[in-house]
Structure 1
Amino acid sequence: MAKKPKKDMGILEVEKLPRVSAWAWLRARFFAGMVIALPIVVTFAILQFFINYIDQRVVPFLPESLRPETYLNYAVPGFGVIVLVLFLTILGAITTNLLGRSVVVITDRVLSQIPIVRTVYSSFKQLVDVFANNPTEQFRECVLIQFPREDSWCLGFVAAPARGEVRSHLSEEYIGVFVPTTPNPTSGFIMFVKAENTIKLHMSVEEGARMILSAGLVVPEHPDVQAAIDAANDRQPKSEAGEPSSPEPDAEPGHEPTQDPDLK
């Protein structure tokens, strides 16, 4: 006996999704959890490392009567950090006085006379003075320069225009660009190139540093892309928001209804 054909009830058939194995489901959930937890774990691990490092260097200099473990059965984490912050605050308050300035000048002269120490001390002192006393001399903007060959571009930070002997040999058109290495931006190259041969970027120095630290995996969003997204959202039809749609101006108007003369 032949089977009767099924009647079409107007119900659309939904395509069944392929089955996912238990192993694939567990693997996907595991990687999702790892992506969420990894930044948090790394952040707290780095903070714990620095706190423990400071505690191990600062707490041993304190007398037994000032150490928390003298009165407690365990060491207080971060106690060395608190002591260091208080010490630096008191040191800054002392050195701002006339007597403190005299001590700093004498110490600077003594350290500048020691053959090996003066090289390291003077270099770090100049670096600290640049960032502490001259905030305008920090990295200003991100640029692209051709390095190490033509048509090969590198991300760099504009340091300052060419000065001193470098400027006398080159010209005012040259600027100093620091090209850091990735993923360790503490090393790199200082290059003097013409400003017209660089490409200025919209990203900030902080965004450029994140891009270098991530080896190019973390890329800041370009303002033109965000502007295009905002423009697309603004062009959404008003009918989607629940507002009545108005007739188009090009549409022809309909005929007015006629009234039967017998009804008058």
Structure 2
Amino acid sequence: MKQRSFKQYFITGLLVWLPMGITVWVLMWLVGLLDSIFLAVLYAADALIPGMHTLAEVLRGVPGLGVILVAIVIFATGVFVANIFGQWWLRQWDNLMNRIPVVRSIYTSVKQVADTLFSGSGNAFSKALLVQYPRQGAWTIAFLTGTPGGEVAQHFPQPMVSVYVPTTPNPTSGFFLMMPKADVIELDMSVDDALKYIISMGVVVPGGPDTLPAAKAVSENL
């Protein structure tokens, strides 16, 4: 009985601390990465502006400074490209990147994905869907990414939709499918709730209790 209770309490406590620990670890890794990028830029600038190396050594002991400065640079870039001159400069930069053979394919692909995911006019992950995959009778969560267009759309006799079926627990990988619109069920749940449902492998049910459902299930099964 004591061994059973110890296992129950240990797993419940682990489910409390594991998400917190991983979150802290990811944040620390991100802060360290941005700080390293910022210091690398200062060291590189030392070749053009003498004294930047000394400044980098001084700022090395300030944790999180890289995060703040990178955020400022990103915000300033957004303000800059929002005007006419910034748009012209951005077009010139795109043209330059598109002229470099190897860089062109990488830059164009990343830019298209970024524009689709983060642009306010994009349709990426605009709705959560319920689709039958990988066979009839087996259902999974998918996301609407748009509708087929161009030459591809000409080969479909009925309205189709483009969907992304993520894998679990890592939704960054998945499958792109084009399915008949009639075979897709649109869900009322938000995209965030659908992602939580996928990442938790169905443990965190949208609309259900948010307080450690996995811990409760483990406790009841032990």
TM range (shorter): 0.7 to 0.9
For normalisation by structure 2, the TM-score amounts to 0.77
Q: In the alignment, residue 201 of structure 1 is paired with which amino acid? A: L
Which of the numbers 205, 209, 220 marks the counterpart of 1:219?
205
Bigger RCO (CA 8 Å, 6+ sep): 2
Q: Which structure 2 segments of 5+ residues have no match?
A: 43-51, 209-222
Letter of the aligned partner of 1:44 in structure 2? V
Q: In angstroms, what is the RMSD of aligned CA positions?
A: 2.4
Identity of aligned residues (%): 32
Amino acid at match of 2:95: R
Following the alignment from structure 1 to structure 2, what is the Cα–Cα distance between the partners of residues 219 and 163? 34
AA matched with 1:95: V
* 1:48-127 correspondence to structure 2 within 5 Å: 48-62=28-42, 63-67=52-56, 70=58, 75-127=61-113
Checking the alignment, whether the CA contact within 8 Å between 1:162 and 1:172 is kept in structure 2 is: no
Picking from 23, 26, 39, the partner of 1:43 is 23
| Distance in structure 1 (CA, Å) of the matches to 2:194 and 2:31 | 28
Which amino acid counterpart does residue 90 of structure 1 have in structure 2?
Answer: A
Q: Provide closer, same or farther for how the CA distance between residues 31 and 191 of structure 1 changes in structure 2, counting only shifts above 3 A.
A: closer
Q: Whose helix fraction is larger, Structure 1's or Structure 2's?
A: 2
Give 1 or 2 for the bigger CA radius of gyration: 1
| Cα deviation, residue 52, structure 1 | 0.9
Within 5 A, what are the aligned runs for 1:132-211? 132-171=118-157, 173-211=159-197
- Mapped to 2, the partners of 1:218 and 1:42 lie a distance apart of 18
Q: In 2, distance between residues paired with 1:89 and 1:201?
A: 34
Inter-partner Cα distance in structure 2 for 1:102 and 1:118: 19
String of CA shifts for 1:60-102, please: whole Å, max 9, x gaps: 32224534x528xx71211111111122233333333444333
AA matched with 1:70: V
Matches of 1:31 and 1:82 in 2, distance apart?
Answer: 37
What TM-score do the two structures reach when normalised by structure 1?
0.66
**C-alpha contact (below 8 Å) 1:161/1:172 kept by paired residues:** no
